[in-house]
Chain A
């Protein structure tokens, strides 16, 4: 069974630009969450999508947005990039909300560098 895939794996942008990252969850998984990982702040929750609806959102500015498509694939967008947005962006998928507490499976991440 294929794991979570994220594209691109590496990205270099300059301040002020915008960027779109993509995540394909494990087949059959309907929930997709996004996290930002930096050396200083660790792993921080950005948002979660389930059945094309944002179900939960972390404490990030409105420059960070996302969406989910009918096939459960998800994208996140960051507009007006700042130097502090340089981070590893991780996507995680989970199978269902019906289970007691579904495990989340992470992709390899997209390393974003803002110059």
Chain B
């Protein structure tokens, strides 16, 4: 069965203190890995799609990387507005359609 585990569950950072979030996965075959950001009371907001090991994508202070077993989301010099829950999801190779399997998320709090 496909499984996605995110760590840590929660992260407290000072503004400007860079850190990394981990997403480890077990799937029969990976079609793609997604990162989303979710603010309280809102739906997840799409950040990145990664397709193959070695791939990297960047957006502002965020950088996502992918290996064969895990993905990292690096937050460089975070600001308070980066506070959110970050969700990782995988789409297995043999899945029909757009079914995503999500991890439990990492709650990030950035203090000024």
Closest Cβ of chain B to A76, distance in Å, is 15
Given contacts A90-B43, A108-B43, contact A33 B102 (CB under 8 A): no
Q: Is B87's CB under 8 angstroms from A103's CB?
A: no
- A97 in contact with B97 (CB, 8 Å): yes
CA distance A100 to B97 in the complex (A): 12
The smallest C-beta distance from B44 to any residue of chain A, in angstroms, reads 5
In the bound assembly, the distance between CA atoms of A6 and B91 in angstroms comes to 24
Bound complex: CA A101 to CA B99 (Å) = 11
Which residues of chain B are within 8 angstroms of A77 by Cβ–Cβ distance?
none
Counting CB contacts under 8 A, is A102 at the interface?
A: yes
Residues in chain B near residue A100, CB distance under 8 A:
32, 51
Chain B interface residue count, Cβ-Cβ cutoff 8 angstroms: 26
A73 to B44, CA, bound (A): 20
A33-B98, A48-B98, A55-B97 given as contacts; is B44 within 8 A of A106 (CB)? yes
Does A80 make an interface contact (CB < 8 A)? Answer: no
* B34, A103: Cβ atoms closer than 8 Å: yes
The listed residue with most A CB atoms (<10 A of its CB), out of B44, B87, B101, is B44
The 8 A CB mask of B72-112 against A (1 = contact, 0 = none) is 00000000000000010101000111111111110000000
**Nearest 6 pairs between A and B by C-beta?**
A106-B43, A43-B102, A55-B97, A101-B32, A56-B97, A48-B97
Provide a sorted-by-A list of 6 A–B residue pairs whose CB atoms are within 8 angstroms. A31-B97, A31-B98, A43-B100, A45-B101, A56-B97, A105-B46
Chain A interfacial positions (CB closer than 8 Å to B): 4, 31, 33, 35, 42-45, 48, 50, 55-56, 58, 90, 92, 94, 97, 100-109
